[in-house]
Amino acid sequence: MENERKPIEVEVASPTGFCFGVKRAIESLEKCIGESAASDGAGKVYSIGMPIHNPQEVARLSRKGLVVVERIEDVPSGAGAFVRAHGVHPSVKKALLERCCGRVTDATCPFVKNAQEKAALLAKEGYSVLVLGDPNHPEVQAIVGCAGEDVSVASSLSEVKGVGKKDRLGVISQTTQKKEFLGAASEVLAPAVRELRIFNTICGATTQRQDAVRKITGSVDGLIVVGGKNSANTAKLVEIARSRNCDTLWIEHSGELDGRWFAGKARIGIAAGASTPDWLIEELKIALETSQVSRGMEGYDGRNDE
Ligand code: F3S
């Protein structure tokens, strides 16, 4: 009975979803929108770039009063502004403070701030600084902005090897970096650098979510990772699951589910990036548990029947 409808067993990775820093940032943004409404009646708060790498949560916040802009010039003078959890380049923060007459809520995550401070310390103490991360990610750009003139970024081991011989080198990681990459980079650098100083700035929340994915891949037939396609930490979860040969589906919301993917699967795992709100995880869980997805059924669109 290939198309017989059978319930799907669902296991949610633990921990998964919103991390401390993102939760804190969203709470402070909502508070800031409320204060803005009370002070000028408009209730608008401006963020340079998306405050969180999750389009669905950004849409929810935009309905409340968040305005996402690309450039500082797009923020009206004197308006309220918001600095997201992964921080901004120091020059952007300075310009925002001036433009908004000090009305800036800085929700940079304390762990990101720690990476920025370590970069500044290394620069102050005369080290060349190497940041292990994605050069295009705003968090890395903000860390680079704190690291003085002699700073470079490596996103792969071949780029780490390209650093060559150095007298004094300090290493910082993007907070969402994989610990294996930091370990491998340290091995490459140790023989080539006379004085090597490494700060492990990988965030515990990231490591825990990655470990939770490693664990769950052993007990499910397939894993659904829910999170923004622009989220670096969600991408890492997908990468880890796939590297363990776990059939992995990356979606932003339950409406993207395709019944064909469930063929032959009895037990499905759910994991979510640190920027995925609980309501999206819950929505997915309910869609899987209450819908009539059957293994082998085609054309399922992720919605319940009613
Ligand atoms: Fe902060 Fe770690 Fe989250 S750095 S924003 S608690 S992933």
Per-residue pLDDT of the chain in tens (306 residues, 90 and over written 9): 444 556 789 999 999 999 999 999 999 999 999 988 887 777 899 999 889 889 999 999 999 999 999 999 999 999 999 999 989 999 999 999 999 999 999 999 999 999 999 999 999 999 999 999 999 999 999 999 999 999 999 999 999 999 988 999 999 999 988 889 999 999 999 999 999 999 999 998 988 999 999 999 999 999 999 999 988 889 999 999 999 999 999 999 999 998 899 999 999 999 999 999 999 999 999 999 886 454 444 444 443 332
Contact between 197 and 172 (Cβ < 8 Å): no
* CA of 22, closest atom in ligand 1: 5
Q: Calculate Rg over the CA atoms of the chain.
A: 22
Helix segments in 100-248, DSSP class H: 110-124, 138-145, 157-161, 179-189, 204-216, 232-243
- Ligand 1 near 199 CB (within 6 A): no
Predicted confidence at residue 301, as pLDDT, reads 43
Contact between 97 and 104 (Cβ < 8 Å): yes
Contact between 24 and 109 (Cβ < 8 Å): yes
The total of other beta-carbon atoms located within 10 Å of residue 167's CB is 10
Residue nearest to atom 1 of ligand 1 (CA): 21
Alpha-carbon distances, residue 119 vs 67, 187, 195, 203, 223 (angstroms) = 31, 20, 16, 15, 37
Predicted confidence at residue 230, as pLDDT, reads 87
- Ligand 1 near 22 CB (within 6 A): yes
Domains and CATH numbers, the chain: 9-18+205-294 (3.40.1010.20), 21-108 (3.40.50.11270), 111-202 (3.40.1010.20)
Distance 204 CA to ligand 1 centre (A): 8
* CA of 209, closest atom in ligand 1: 7
* CA of 111, closest atom in ligand 1: 4
Predicted confidence at residue 2, as pLDDT, reads 47
Q: Answer positive or negative: Cα dihedral of 263, 266, 272, 278.
A: positive
Predicted confidence at residue 303, as pLDDT, reads 39
Distance 107 CA to ligand 1 centre (A): 11
What letters, b where the CB count within 10 A reaches 16 and e where it falls short, cover 292-302? ebbbbbeebeb
Contact between 273 and 259 (Cβ < 8 Å): no
Distance 22 CA to ligand 1 centre (A): 6
The total of other beta-carbon atoms located within 10 Å of residue 123's CB is 18
Q: Report how far residue 66's alpha carbon sits from residue 47's, in angstroms, rounded to the nearest whole number.
A: 7
Q: How far is residue 194 CA from its own chain's centroid?
A: 34
Cis ω before 15 (30° cut-off from 0)? yes
Give the max Cα distance, the chain. Answer: 70
Active-site residues: which are they?
139
Residue nearest to atom 5 of ligand 1 (CA): 21
Q: Report how far residue 16's alpha carbon sits from residue 223's, in angstroms, rounded to the nearest whole number.
A: 13
Predicted confidence at residue 5, as pLDDT, reads 59
Q: Report how far residue 64's alpha carbon sits from residue 61's, in angstroms, rounded to the nearest whole number.
A: 5
Contact between 157 and 130 (Cβ < 8 Å): no
The total of other beta-carbon atoms located within 10 Å of residue 280's CB is 22
